[in-house]
Amino acid sequence: MKLFTTTAALFLSTGVAFAAGDMMQGVTASNQDVANGIVSAEKISAAQNGWMVVHRTNAEMKPGPVVGYAPIREGETMDVAAILTEPVKSGDMLMLMVHGEDGGNIVGNFEYTLGAKEDGPVKVDGKLVMTVITVE
């Protein structure tokens, strides 16, 4: 029982989402110092090419403005680093989320703006594929 509880806690804390018949999709990232202007995910698993998008968030866990993004590949992408487009300070919460490469005008250009459908968030069973970190 302890192994099951530990495994379940690990999956919940790493933002892993999956659906029957889908590959396991998720974002694995830890709290980190971003003084170098970069935020990183250790691993991202995605069912399609797309983007790791960095949103501001807070205790309500709603995605806010985009403050960085980086391309990801279908399957597993290790050590994904996004350059932050504005200052982020210690204690800020960031949501690292998988977005698709769908509906935009130009493949390979990140075209999402908050609330738009172009290059929008990936959902599995209605839930965003993401994790939240706190900046150290």
List pLDDT tens digits, range 19-41.
Answer: 434 579 999 999 999 999 999 99
**How many domains is the chain partitioned into structurally?**
1
Position of tokens 């530990």?
A: 6
Mean pLDDT score of the chain, rounded to an integer? 86
Position of tokens 């908050």?
A: 114
Report residue 65 CA to chain centroid gap.
Answer: 13
Alpha-carbon Rg for the chain, nearest whole angstrom, is 14
Domain that holds residue 125: 2-134
Q: In this predicted model, what pLDDT tens digit does every residue of 109-121 receive, in sequence order?
A: 999 988 888 999 9
